[in-house]
């Protein structure tokens, strides 16, 4: 079939569930951490046994406010929890405590950039809810097993407006969300472990049409790139259905990562009436102005604020600024380095280059990097003062700095006899000696083989035992050779 895909456009809205990094669950003091033995983090309250009473975890509200403030959402002052009733084997209480009518945040936005184009992604709402347990289908050939550890773990759900018009925008948005929640330290953002999950609502319509098309909802994607692939597959599938004269049915679909397709899980028409009503066992919540101000005062720098500062105030390239801000720990380290130096570009180069390679080689996360940030600025300073060359600093001083943590770069340079000689008279002697050694090459240089400068530089460095200031040596060499 000859399908004109370009006739259509995609409309997508995302629902992102993020699991809070709280020590205990949303309404009970059971602890939760990923990877614990099944059903070891479960109390009668988690199971909702008769006579038990839940109690809401204050941290969850604080985290919700933190996220809402970062997204410029309106924080709800008076709210209550609702019960969403449905039956599922891994839902021990037969209902999920959530927020229906009074989400903790309304509105707000997250800005993204896709292929150089800025776009503001509007959020509909952010609400608090609890997770269900987990059904395990692949460990017993005949039965589905249930692990209730995750039941009652607090989630925030971010719901966007139907504003994505490409799978790349969705990809960028999820990358920004993941970075943000890691900066805010409210969720670890690990999609592979299920602590960040995304449902993609996908519809298509003829370009120029106002009304939205019928949507399907795709679940079960465990990476950001799989969300992108699922949206792409689903867009194509829907266009082909419409072109065949079929209509799209409202349904929940699952992503098959192996075949990179989606398949129908259940029709939405089979969806339950959730019979929401206010949760009678939990008190309504009042958020005060003071609470909001307290959370605001404790907000860390946000990734886009740092990005903009590095590009606009520090003059870094977008590429460098993105690498520095990708990981909060690296950005905070950089912040400390530049508190001691205004060589912003050199500081960025050191972190993106030597420091990151050291971390990779030693499989150490940035937060465990042993060197104090000031040492990096000290190293930049002695290069700047002409005491050591950049290459000596990188090859001979930095590797010692990370081992001998109490020594300054200058002490190390002196100890290893690496302080370079910037005395032009001394360098002139080495240059003359180097030139005298290769009269033939001097001729060739003069005849246009400028690449030979490397040979002479090598000789000067050898004669000076690598201590001649390369910048000065290069300058003097050129002067003499071009005479
Ligand atoms: P539900 O809870 O049944 O999924 P919601 O009203 O909460 O319904 O919508 C969920 C998501 O679906 C939102 O992100 C919204 O932007 C998106 N959405 C709604 N209608 C469409 C549509 N026609 N096409 C694409 N996305 C849509
Ligand atoms: Mg939905």
| Half-sphere exposure for 242 (CA within 13 Å, toward CB) | 20
Nearest to 46 by CA among 25, 60, 61: 25
Ligand 1 centroid to residue 264 C-alpha, Å:
17
Ligand 1 centroid to residue 215 C-alpha, Å:
8
Pocket of ligand 1 (CB under 6 A): 11-15, 159-162, 201-203, 212-213, 215, 217
Q: pLDDT for 11-40, tens place per residue?
A: 999 999 999 999 999 999 999 988 899 999
Q: What is the pTM of this model?
A: 0.89
pLDDT score at 214: 95
Residue whose Cα lies nearest atom 6 of ligand 1: it is 159
Residue 354 has pLDDT above 80, yes or no: yes
Percentage of residues in the chain having pLDDT higher than 70: 99
* pLDDT band of 271, cuts 50, 70, 90: low
pLDDT score at 269: 62
Strands 216-221 and 251-256: what pairing?
Answer: parallel
> CATH 1.10.10.410 occupies which residues in the chain?
424-481
Residue whose Cα lies nearest atom 19 of ligand 1: it is 162
Residue 6 has pLDDT above 90, yes or no: yes
* pLDDT band of 468, cuts 50, 70, 90: confident
Residue 223 has pLDDT above 80, yes or no: yes
SS3 270: helix
Locate the ligand 1 atom nearest the alpha carbon of residue 159 and give its number. 14
Locate the ligand 1 atom nearest the alpha carbon of residue 202 and give its number. 25
* pLDDT band of 270, cuts 50, 70, 90: low
CA distance 396 to 91: 60
* pLDDT band of 482, cuts 50, 70, 90: confident
Q: Which residue has the tokens 């109690």?
A: 55
pLDDT score at 273: 86
Percentage of residues in the chain having pLDDT higher than 90: 87
pLDDT score at 198: 97
CA distance 7 to 352: 44
Q: pLDDT for 121-147, tens place per residue?
A: 999 999 999 999 999 988 999 999 999
pLDDT score at 33: 87
Nearest to 374 by CA among 406, 419, 352, 416: 406
Q: 258: which residues sit within 8 A by CB, 6+ positions away?
A: none
User: What average pLDDT does the segment 203-232 reach?
Assistant: 95
CATH 1.10.10.410 fits domain 424-481? yes
Q: What's the chain's average pLDDT? A: 94
Residue 210 exposed, middle or buried by CB count within 10 Å (0-12, 13-18, 19+): exposed
Q: Which of 15, 127, 218, 253 to mutate to test the pocket of ligand 1 (most atoms within 8 A of CB)?
A: 15
Locate the ligand 1 atom nearest the alpha carbon of residue 217 and give its number. 4
**What does each C-alpha distance from 182 to 43, 69, 177, 189, 213 come to in angstroms?**
29, 15, 8, 7, 34
Q: Which of 46-50, 71-75, 267-271 has the lowest mean pLDDT?
A: 267-271
Sign of the CA dihedral 405, 406, 412, 416?
A: negative
Residue 268 has pLDDT above 80, yes or no: no
User: What average pLDDT does the segment 253-259 reach?
Assistant: 92
CA distance 465 to 366: 35
Ligand 1 centroid to residue 315 C-alpha, Å:
41
Q: Which ligand is nearest to the CA of 219?
A: 2
Locate the ligand 1 atom nearest the alpha carbon of residue 271 and give its number. 3
Q: pLDDT for 142-176, tens place per residue?
A: 999 999 999 999 999 999 999 999 999 999 999 99
Residue 194 has pLDDT above 80, yes or no: yes
Q: Which ligand is nearest to the CA of 274?
A: 1
For residues 13 and 424, which has the higher predicted lDDT (pLDDT)? 13
């Amino acid at each position: 079939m000859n399908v004109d895909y370009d006739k259509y456009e995609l409309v997508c809205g995302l629902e992102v569930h993020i699991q809070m990094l709280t020590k205990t669950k949303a309404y009970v003091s059971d602890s939760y951490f990923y990877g614990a033995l099944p059903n070891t983090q479960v109390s009668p309250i988690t199971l909702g046994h008769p006579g038990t009473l839940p109690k809401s975890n204050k941290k969850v509200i604080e985290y919700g406010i933190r996220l809402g403030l970062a997204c410029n959402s309106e924080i709800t002052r008076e709210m209550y929890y609702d019960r969403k009733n449905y039956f599922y084997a891994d839902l021990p209480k037969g209902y999920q405590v959530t927020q229906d009518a009074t989400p903790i945040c309304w509105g707000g936005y997250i800005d993204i950039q896709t292929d150089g184009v800025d776009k503001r992604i509007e959020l509909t709402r952010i609400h608090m809810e609890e997770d269900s347990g987990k059904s395990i289908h692949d460990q017993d050939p005949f039965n589905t097993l249930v692990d209730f550890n995750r039941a009652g773990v607090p989630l925030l759900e971010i719901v966007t407006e139907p504003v994505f018009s490409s799978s790349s925008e969705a990809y960028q948005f999820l990358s920004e969300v993941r970075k943000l929640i890691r900066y805010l330290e409210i969720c670890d953002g690990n999609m592979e472990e299920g602590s960040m999950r995304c449902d993609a609502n996908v519809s298509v319509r003829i370009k120029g049409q106002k009304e939205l098309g019928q949507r399907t909802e795709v679940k079960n994607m465990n990476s950001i790139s799989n969300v992108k692939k699922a949206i792409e597959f689903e867009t194509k599938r829907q266009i082909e259905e419409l072109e065949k004269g079929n209509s799209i049915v409202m349904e929940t679909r699952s992503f098959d990562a192996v075949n990179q397709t989606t398949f129908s899980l259940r029709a939405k028409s089979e969806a339950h009436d959730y019979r929401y009503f206010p949760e009678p066992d939990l008190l309504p919540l009042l958020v005060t102005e003071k609470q909001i101000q307290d959370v605001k005062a404790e907000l860390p720098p946000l990734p886009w604020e740092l990005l903009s500062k590095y590009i606009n105030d520090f003059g870094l390239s977008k590429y460098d600024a993105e690498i520095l801000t990708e990981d909060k720990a690296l950005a905070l380290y950089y912040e400390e380095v530049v508190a001691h130096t205004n060589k912003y570009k050199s500081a960025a180069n050191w972190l993106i280059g030597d420091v990151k390679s050291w971390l990779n080689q030693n499989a150490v996360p940035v937060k465990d990097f042993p060197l104090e940030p000031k040492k990096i600025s000290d190293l930049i300073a002695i290069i700047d003062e002409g005491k050591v060359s950049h290459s000596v600093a990188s090859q001979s001083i930095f590797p010692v700095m990370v081992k001998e943590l109490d020594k300054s770069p200058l002490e190390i340079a002196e100890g290893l006899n690496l302080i370079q000689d910037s005395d032009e008279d001394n360098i002139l002697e080495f240059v003359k000696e180097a030139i005298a050694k290769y009269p033939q090459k001097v001729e060739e240089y003069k005849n246009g083989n400028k690449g030979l400068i490397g040979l002479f530089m090598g000789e000067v460095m050898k004669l000076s035992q690598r201590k001649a200031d390369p910048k000065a040596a290069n300058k003097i060499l050129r002067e003499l050779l071009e005479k």
